Chain A
Amino acid sequence: MQRNFVQWNGYLDAIDASIEKGMAAKEVVCSITTGFRMIPSLRNAPGLNPYHASVADVGYGFDAVRGTIGRLRNGEVISLGKEMLVLDLDTLRISEKQLSPNFDLVAKEAKADTYYLIEQSRYLNHQIAEKINEAIMYGKALLGAEWDEILKRVQNVQSIPRL
């Protein structure tokens, strides 16, 4: 069942590289979203709070997956390592799906002079989604049939209500 070491590391590298390519997009999206809080027409727009929360969740997930991979690469033995990767990767999938419906609510309130920030966010969120899907694909390749089995178990923690 256990894949060999070289293959294992290769997939970890692939997950890490996918997310790394999404980091700049995530950073700019975080910056723009904070900026929305300073724009009178947007700062209290319906959808902005849940959108901001999903952006933060994506940021958390990117950092957590890369952090866990970094720890594993440093030779750390993490007993829940696989569970951590599956939880954070699958939660990224969920957060990404929550981005656009809330974002669309915010975008409705945008005025002409801020529309470029809306367009840029939309473009970057699309890029982020691609990188998340890529990382999940490699995660599934890393764990094979174990992915679904682990996912079923971590769903107990994933289902804990969040703000």
Chain B
Amino acid sequence: MAQKMSEEEQLRLMEWWNATEKGTFVVKQLVSLITELRLNPESSRADGMILLYRAASEVSYGYAGMRGCIRRTFSNEYSEFLRNNIVRCRSFARKFSVDTKVLLERVAKQIRGASALLIVERIRETLRENDTILSEIENKANEFFGHETFQTLQNNVMDSITLPPSK
């Protein structure tokens, strides 16, 4: 069922959109650096490389998904379904940013070459910028939904990917 957004909601959603705009810049930098690391002979065969690449692609996906949801919201598709959808995409971006960080350090352990280590350092820096943007996005989401609703929506996502207790 399509719903109408109030003017205030529209403004807050626009702010959320603007925060994702910064995210797209950082994520482009992130995955370009990861491609560079994948190609560099000093790092391309390191354990964890494949998972690192996959995790980063899900971060990119999470941002893109959020933006896709906001686009759809503004083209009159706003609904309970879409609210859950955007919260899910945001949780993807956050979750896989953690995985990317963990995997990067695992990969870094195996690298000795100076040029690859330099790329690793730049990826670390980019992931720190990414963290800043993700917390900004979290604030925007809180402001858009209201704290309690946002919590409920997030819990719904978590419940939907957890084994329920047996009856």
> Residues of A with Cβ closer than 8 Å to B?
24, 26-35, 37-38, 53, 55-57, 59-60, 63-64, 66-68, 70-71, 78-80, 83-84, 87-88, 154, 157, 160-163
Q: Please give, as numbers and ranges, the residues of chain A lying within 8 Å of B32 by CB-CB distance.
A: 63-64, 67-68, 70-71, 84
Binding site for A on B (CB under 8 A): 24, 27-36, 38-40, 44, 49-51, 53-54, 56-58, 60-61, 64-69, 71-72, 81-82, 84-86, 88-89, 92, 115, 160
Tell me if A56 and B44 are in contact (CB < 8 A): no
Cα distance, A80 to B38, chains bound together (Å): 11
> Does more than half of chain B's interface fall in helix, strand or loop, or is it mixed?
helix
Q: Do the beta carbons of B29 and A157 come within 8 Å of each other?
A: no
- Inter-subunit contact B53/A162 (CB<8 Å): yes
A residues within 8 A CB of B34?
Answer: 64
Tell me whether A60 and B31 are in contact in the complex, defined as CB-CB below 8 angstroms, given that A37-B88, A84-B36, A162-B50 are known contacts.
yes
Residue numbers in B under 8 Å from A161 (CB-CB): 50
CB-defined contacts of B115 to chain A, threshold 8 Å: 79
Name the CB-closest residue of A to B49.
A160
Q: Which residues of A contact B40 (CB under 8 A)?
A: 80
- Besides A38-B81, A84-B35, A162-B53, 17 other A-B contacts (C-beta < 8 A): A26-B64, A27-B67, A30-B61, A30-B64, A31-B64, A31-B65, A31-B67, A31-B69, A34-B65, A35-B82, A57-B57, A63-B30, A64-B34, A66-B28, A67-B27, A70-B28, A78-B36
| A27-B28 in contact (CB<8A) | no
- Kindly provide the distance from the CB of B98 to the nearest chain A CB, expressed in whole angstroms: 17
What's the Cα separation between A157 and B37 when bound, in Å?
11
A31 and B68 contact, CB distance less than 8 A = yes
A-B contact pairs, 15 of them (CB 8 A): A24-B71, A26-B64, A28-B71, A29-B68, A30-B65, A35-B81, A37-B160, A56-B57, A57-B57, A64-B31, A67-B33, A78-B36, A84-B36, A87-B39, A163-B54
